[in-house]
Amino acid sequence: MLDNILQLLTYNPQEPILFSTSLFLYLFVAFVALYDLLQKRTAARLLFVTAFSYYFYYKSSGIYFFLLAVVTLSDYLLAGCIYRSHQNKPDQRRLRSLLLTLSLLIDLGLLAYFKYTNFFASLIVPLFGGQFEPMDIFLPVGISFFTFQSLSYTIDIYRGKLQPVQSLLDYAFFVSFFPQLVAGPIVRASDFVPQIRKPLQATDEMRARGIYFILCGLLKKCIISDYISLNFVDRIFDDPTLYSGIENLLGLYGYTLQIYCDFSGYSDMAIGIALLLGFHFPKNFDTPYISTNVSEFWHRWHISFSTWIRDYIYISLGGNRCREWRIHFNLFVTMLIGGLWHGASLNFVAWGAMHGAALSLHKWFRQHVMHHDRNYKPHGLRRLGATLLTFHFIVFTFIFFRSRSFETSWQVIEQIVFNFHPELTWEVITGYAAVMSLIALGYLSHFTPAKWQEGSVKLLQKGGILLQALAMIAAIYAVAQFKTSAIQPFIYFQF
């Protein structure tokens, strides 16, 4: 019995801890019980949550939790030195630049080694006539998220926009806070640090809203995303040539919904868990598929990431403070880097390049052809047309995002263009009735009015603990009916 418990609590690469697993549910119940006892003991509470967060990361990536400690300690010390230099020697900008560069080298160096060594080696080695053999390098879960989060702290202090945290414990708490540790949102220190030592105020409204977001996340991830992935989408992308063009197209629509439900589902659960603990995270998704242009899409999709690359890459390159050609160049390079951030593959680079080109083209078209300002919104049929065009551009780019290689991407495109077979549409829909029903439900839910969400939160709030508990039990039961034997990690764990 004891051996089974120890095995369950030890890192297993085949069973990483997820918000949607029963292990996390049991651990979280015990965690909340102790957390409530420490409400008025701030230091003890921060230490307890930080320790739990490190254990949570250990259950995701094993011994590589030490990378989290390296990033935390180095940036805490370097940011403190940068701030003291600001205060005591304001004329020594060169010293501060060197300290910031050291922070960038440590954080991005770790990220580059674990995530991009094989990718760049595969490009360089053949140039010198060698044969590339991939090295066995483990990719720690969420390394891109916590390095970017920690970097924003150091850069903001360098820019004079932020003061250092009170202690190393506060900073470790900020970087490692488990709800958003492995897949975002990328929380800024300016938003989160002021909340750390405030008296906990998890109000009835916060609890109801937290439960609502957790319910939404569970349903999105475990019912819609996992089911359509295992029973349809993965089969299509494993070998597109085995399926007709209509099946490939429906699989592509399915993946477009799957990745939204998977990633926004994680964000919803992270936001909900943080609310239950008395903390506020920024919104990370805002119905992105209703966007009328690609610029609007990036204001609605993975908002914490898009604002991060805007503030720390695009603006650092010059942003809009340049000649027109340079502005378009900055947009393209920013999205190229954004694509590479998502994965060490030329497919991701191509995906980022397409989005960069689309952002640049839209900006030029809006300014020089339509003569619209940035706040212009189309209406009526024009809005419908713009939404459909934008949506299908996003769908098209996801071919490259999802495929393992360019060869697979071309196979999907070729099947859709040259082997479509529309006469099979009804047969495919009826043959995958459950999958198609969930895809339809997922897209319909995407267009539900915001007031429905607020109504649901108010209903949970009025129903109190009893209704909230019943809602959670019902959701867990529904998830269990769709659950597969194998754990389905969140898509963005690989990033």
Instruction: Select, from the ranges 24-28, 113-117, 232-236, 370-374, the one with the highest average predicted confidence (pLDDT).
Output: 232-236
Q: Which of 94-103, 157-166, 196-205, 383-392 has the lowest mean pLDDT?
A: 196-205
φ, ψ for residue 39 (rounded to 5)? Answer: -55, -40
* CA end-to-end span of the chain: 36
Task: Give the start-end residues of each E strand in 148-254.
Answer: none
* Distance (Å, whole) CA 380 – CA 36: 51
Vertex 82, ends 81 and 83: CA angle to 5°?
90
User: Does the pLDDT value for residue 8 go beyond 70?
Assistant: no
Active site residues: 342
174: closest CA among 158, 188, 155, 161?
Answer: 188
247: closest CA among 232, 227, 226?
Answer: 232
Domain range list for the chain: 10-199, 205-292+377-486
pLDDT for 179 equals 87
Contact criterion met (CB below 8 Å) for 263 and 492:
yes
Return the higher-pLDDT residue of 124 and 489.
Answer: 124
Confidence band, pLDDT 50/70/90 cuts, at residue 495: low
pLDDT for 446 equals 84
* Distance (Å, whole) CA 102 – CA 258: 39
> For all residues of the chain together, what is the average pLDDT?
86
Contact criterion met (CB below 8 Å) for 143 and 109:
no
User: Does the pLDDT value for residue 224 go beyond 80?
Assistant: yes
* Distance (Å, whole) CA 44 – CA 25: 23
pLDDT for 437 equals 92
Distances (CA, A) of 440 to 45, 67, 486, 490: 44, 42, 25, 21
Angle between the N-to-C axes of helices 143-158 and 93-111, in degrees from 0 to 180, rounded to the nearest 10? 180
pLDDT for 443 equals 92
399: closest CA among 223, 248, 231?
Answer: 248
Q: Which of 219-223, 411-415, 479-483 has the lowest mean pLDDT?
A: 479-483
User: Does the pLDDT value for residue 117 go beyond 70?
Assistant: yes
Take residue 193 and report the two structure tokens written for it.
Answer: 């640090």
pLDDT for 487 equals 56
Peptide bond into 185 cis (omega under 30): yes
List pLDDT tens digits, range 368-400: 887 777 778 888 898 899 999 999 999 999 999
Q: 200: which DSSP letter?
A: P
* Distance (Å, whole) CA 314 – CA 155: 14
* Distance (Å, whole) CA 470 – CA 472: 5
* Distance (Å, whole) CA 276 – CA 133: 47
Cα-Cα-Cα-Cα dihedral sign, residues 281, 274, 493, 140: positive
User: Does the pLDDT value for residue 492 go beyond 60?
Assistant: no
Q: Three-state DSSP class for 277?
A: coil
289: closest CA among 267, 260, 265, 312?
Answer: 260
pLDDT for 462 equals 86
Across the range 279-288, mean pLDDT stands at 90
* Distance (Å, whole) CA 225 – CA 229: 6
Vertex 265, ends 263 and 267: CA angle to 5°?
75
Percent pLDDT > 90 in the chain is 37
List pLDDT tens digits, range 349-363: 999 999 999 999 988
Contact criterion met (CB below 8 Å) for 181 and 142:
yes
* Distance (Å, whole) CA 357 – CA 111: 26
Take residue 61 and report the two structure tokens written for it.
Answer: 């990536």
pLDDT for 300 equals 94
Percent pLDDT > 70 in the chain is 93
User: Does the pLDDT value for residue 148 go beyond 80?
Assistant: yes
User: Does the pLDDT value for residue 441 go beyond 80?
Assistant: yes
User: Does the pLDDT value for residue 62 go beyond 60?
Assistant: yes
Take residue 162 and report the two structure tokens written for it.
Answer: 């932020």
Across the range 436-461, mean pLDDT stands at 86
Confidence band, pLDDT 50/70/90 cuts, at residue 168: very high
Return the higher-pLDDT residue of 9 and 253.
Answer: 253
pLDDT for 412 equals 94
pLDDT for 41 equals 87
Longest dimension (CA), the chain: 75
pTM of the model: 0.90
Contact criterion met (CB below 8 Å) for 245 and 415:
yes
pLDDT for 241 equals 93
Contact criterion met (CB below 8 Å) for 390 and 398:
no
Q: Which of 65-69, 110-114, 118-122, 295-299 has the lowest mean pLDDT?
A: 118-122
